[in-house]
Chains A and B, each alone.
Chain A
């Protein structure tokens, strides 16, 4: 329970808008930033409003709670900066990547200042991104990056992708116990770069002997569709009768798996974990079906993404390694090389919150 308390503290911190207990050296220092407006790499910049920026916030698809939350954060940031509200546009289903390509290409034609994308089209998005950069549209990815890193100014990562693997391995270990057992992954779509990176990180983490008794036996895809994910969860139990846990690194998948196990009365045998939204998971966590799961704030992710994008598109900062910037209420961040891709830059938001029955109502 020690960890839950620590997390509670982190949560409280966030709730208090980081003013009192955030990183001591940022957020309160808005007064001494004069002269840093056109700062080069390495020079700390406080991103300020005043310029206009037209932009599109492009989620993997619409109708998913976490993307609505990200939009909420981006709108909040735009309002603070006095910029045009970003257009929230995306395909209506997560299954078809061509909708994202179309929106990206249209953005290039429209000549908006920036597109913020959670990429669901894998490397297929590249033609759209190339068109955008040819038209001087700043492309910033969030949640899920452009695999090649080409044409993308920056990736705003929710958490460190390697850490995601460790967090999932830890949750699996706690739920399944020291004697371990078999478990399986229920992911989103096979082209979702973030989910693929997390699963790879999970596999990497599992090589540590601490997790020697945990055996990952299968990975299936529910395409972030509630119905498909539900069926895939049941199919997993049928085809792997010995699994004790379904790990779903997607909010749609974990909720669908929780419902599937609950409906079929399988919760005693198969637990559910992964990345989930407290509102969608409360029932299953309280029933013990999903004893613990993790997530970060998507509102904050949208907020930080907007600030970073605004800084780049208005020329206040460079998208360069070592560039430090202050993003409103969230404080200071530094751009670094993305170690999870061959090329590309990232900013890591963090932190993870692990939810259990003790803190799910916070």
Chain B
């Protein structure tokens, strides 16, 4: 039996909102429940979604990574520039991923060793890696990638299942297990709750942070490569502003911005809500600005409700001990 905690209450609320969104969309648009639409729903946002999963770790750990969208562009531009320079394509992908991981390792080292706030360090990363992407490709757009690669980005189904959905589910389950069922995950929670306590308990705080920021950037790099596959060409300004959408999903999922609490299930539900809401509003011909407004309003309401929950006599589920 799961404990009745603040997190459980929030997850239940999210599940209700998700079901409500799905029912509402289905009543508004007859095509909403089509398999094709379900395929597109995930395919069109897979890049943001996988980064949101790793962002959950970072925020639970009491940090933030604002550089993810810039690292996505950086990764895609390394891929483009290397390919343009004649590097074999598979090797170009490896280069892009190594460059991304290195970007995260660098940021993680600075945060762990100097104690400078990750908000500041990754803000510098947001500007710096976007700049690096612009230096690599300037204003050009590089495309004409091998067919197998662009096909990958447009792949609808893996057997009978939507490719992007499968990718998302596998990723989120693995991430959920690591966060809630391993010593590493427990460490992430303890550090997020109180870094000093963690240090005295012998948890490798600095190493955990470096691992998280390196992984975050690596996943952003993978997202950049997936984005390149889906778009068929890359440019330095791709994914601009994505970091805010990604952080929105995580916070809506009930992860505390101050660290130490949150669940992967909550984030997965929040991702489902955001994607279904955007899709449903799109099918109902609601314009992009209004869609953004609706999601913003949802975030504000959710933070208010979470705040309210904190005042109720519910226990916080710490570190899944």
Interface status of B147 (Cβ within 8 A of chain A) = no
A90 in contact with B141 given A109-B37, A126-B232, A127-B232 (CB within 8 Å)? no
Contacts of A105 in B (CB 8 A): 40, 44
Q: Which of A59-75 contact B (CB under 8 A)?
A: 62
Per-position binary interface string of chain B over residues 256-283, scored 1 when its CB falls under 8 Å from any chain A CB and 0 otherwise: 0000000000000000000000010011
* A172–B285 alpha-carbon span in the complex (Å): 43
Set A91, A126, A223: member contacting B237, Cβ < 8 A: A223
Q: Are A191 and B235 in contact (CB under 8 A)?
A: yes
Measured CB to CB, the nearest residue on chain B to A88 is B287
* Residues on B with beta carbons closer than 8 Å to the beta carbon of A111: 31
Q: Is the CB of A89 within 8 A of B230?
A: no
Judge whether B140 and A123 touch: CB under 8 Å.
Answer: no
Assess whether A106 is in contact with B283, with CB atoms less than 8 Å apart.
Answer: yes
Q: A82 to nearest B CB, angstroms?
A: 20
Q: Is B154 an interface residue (CB 8 A)?
A: yes
Contact pattern, A 335-354, Cβ under 8 Å of B = 1, otherwise 0:
00000000000000000000
Q: List A residues 108-138 near B (Cβ within 8 Å).
A: 108-111, 121-124, 126-127, 131
Residues of A within 8 A of B143 (CB): 122-123
Of chain B, the residue at the smallest CB distance from A135 is B36
Residues on B with beta carbons closer than 8 Å to the beta carbon of A102: 44, 282
Given the complex of chains A and B, what is the CA–CA distance between A121 and B238 in angstroms? 11
Residues of A within 8 A of B279 (CB): 106
Q: B140 is contacted by which of A62, A101, A109, A190 (Cβ under 8 Å)? A: A190
A87 and B286 CA atoms in complex are apart in Å by 9
| CB-defined contacts of B40 to chain A, threshold 8 Å | 105-106, 109, 131
Chain B residues in 8 Å Cβ range of A39: none
Smallest CB–CB gap between A110 and chain B, Å?
6
Indicate which residue in A97, A103, A121, A131 contacts B282 across the interface (CB closer than 8 Å). A103
Whether B296 is near chain A, meaning CB under 8 Å from some CB there, is no
Are B283's CB and A110's CB within 8 A? yes
| Contact status B241-A96, CB under 8 Å | yes
CB distance from B38 to the nearest CB of A (A): 10
The answer on a CB contact under 8 Å between B44 and A190 is no
Instruction: Name A84-99 residues within 8 Å CB distance of B.
Output: 87, 89-92, 95-99
Give chain B residues whose Cβ lies under 8 Å from the Cβ of A98.
44, 231
Q: Which residues of B contact A56 (CB under 8 A)?
A: 285
- A106 contacts B241, C-beta separation under 8 Å: no
Specify the chain A residue showing the minimal Cβ separation from B31.
Answer: A109
Give the most central of B34, B37, B154, B231: most A CB within 10 Å. Answer: B231
- Known contacts A62-B289, A102-B44, A123-B233; is-contact A190 B36 (Cβ 8 Å): no
CA of A122 to CA of B241 in the docked complex: distance in angstroms? 20
B residues touching A (Cβ–Cβ < 8 Å)? 29, 31, 34, 36-37, 40, 44, 139-141, 143, 153-154, 230-233, 235, 237-238, 240-241, 279, 282-283, 285, 287-289, 292
Q: Could you show 16 A-B contacts with beta carbons less than 8 Å apart?
A: A62-B289, A92-B292, A97-B231, A98-B44, A101-B44, A103-B282, A108-B36, A109-B31, A109-B36, A110-B29, A110-B31, A121-B231, A122-B141, A127-B154, A131-B40, A190-B140
